[in-house]
Amino acid sequence: MVLRFLSGWKVRAGLTVFLLFCLLALLGPWFCSSVLHISPTALDVDSVSTPPSAGHLLGTTASGQDVLAQLITGARQSMIAGLVASVLGTSIAVLVGVTAGLAGGVVDSVLTALTNVFLTMPAFALIFVISGYTQGGGPVVIGIIIGIFGWAGGTRALRSQTLSLRNRDFVVAMRMLGESRVRLALVEVLPHLIGWISAMFLGGFVGGVLAEAGLAFLGLSSASTVSWGSMISEAQQGNALLGGMWWWFAPPGLCIALLGASVTLVNFGIDEISNPRLRNARRTLVRRARQAAVKGADSDE
């Protein structure tokens, strides 16, 4: 299955870019200080709002801070927020969705009602208000807030899939043998939901990064940490767009876009494996391509 997952160019391209961003988040601060010898907070008063040059590869901000150092260092903060939001949101969605689907009855009704309540809530508005009270908490706190309000959509999908699996012969047989619901969920149900859970996790990760960037742009992130969102926010406050300082706001925006695109490409690969229709469609396309190649070779002869 792993080889089949990695066989598509979309997955390989997406994983390559995503892993590069992960390395950037893990080793970025060390790389800046030990290899490039640049700091995201150091002020160069002689190079204020300068375009990319040999001394500053991505230019400087209106305060003389190195944009490249901020870009590399900010990757960790943005991805931590996305990771925390994704782990928390996916965990809650799996717990509530699978429990509701397997339990049924009153438990299902209560959990479904709770899910519907969270679905009708103005999530970003609530995140905005709560983040205002916890301002300065850092990317972990922001990720927790995003995860708490970002699980409901995935829960409904997992509940629907669990209800379908609940009536399958192998699940009914295990239930008749007296297996507990916990074992049914862990052994019989969750393995069939790996594709859904993986796609939900990756989607939640990108959503967390985008939400953190939005909150930072609105000035609700910690002032002591640098993230891609805070870079865009400072560029907006410094009139970078009107001043033509594209090197200040374009790199973080491009990184967010590339990260989202890489995760989307990986999601395509997951869908092709977990969705039988897409898997069969891909096989049909491959077979037709081979037939066309054979016909082309025969015609040349």
pLDDT (0 to 100) of residue 19:
92
Cβ atoms 67, 178 nearer than 8 A: no
Q: If you average pLDDT over residues 91-114, what whole number do you get?
A: 91
Residue 3: predicted pLDDT:
60
Q: Could you give the 3-state DSSP secondary structure of residue 60?
A: strand
The answer to whether 171 and 195 are in contact (CB under 8 A) is no
Determine the Cα–Cα distance for residues 14 and 23; give it in Å rounded to an integer.
14
Tokens found for residue 90: 């996916």
Q: Note whether 274 and 15 are within 8 A (CB).
A: no
Least confident of 54-68, 91-105, 128-142, 200-214: 128-142
The answer to which of 2-6, 17-21, 256-260 has the lowest mean pLDDT is: 2-6
Neighbours of 153 (CB within 10 A): 17
212 neighbors 143 (Cβ within 8 angstroms): yes
Structural domains in the chain plus CATH codes: 7-36+64-300 (1.10.3720.10)
The region, left, alpha or beta by phi > 0 then psi within -120 to 50, assigned to residue 104 is left
Kindly report, residue by residue over 127-140, the tens digit of the pLDDT.
878 877 776 667 88
What are the tokens at 258? 């590339």
pLDDT for 274 beyond 70: no
The residue among 148 and 285 whose pLDDT is bigger is: 148
Calpha distance 109→136 (Å, rounded): 38
- pTM check: above 0.85: no
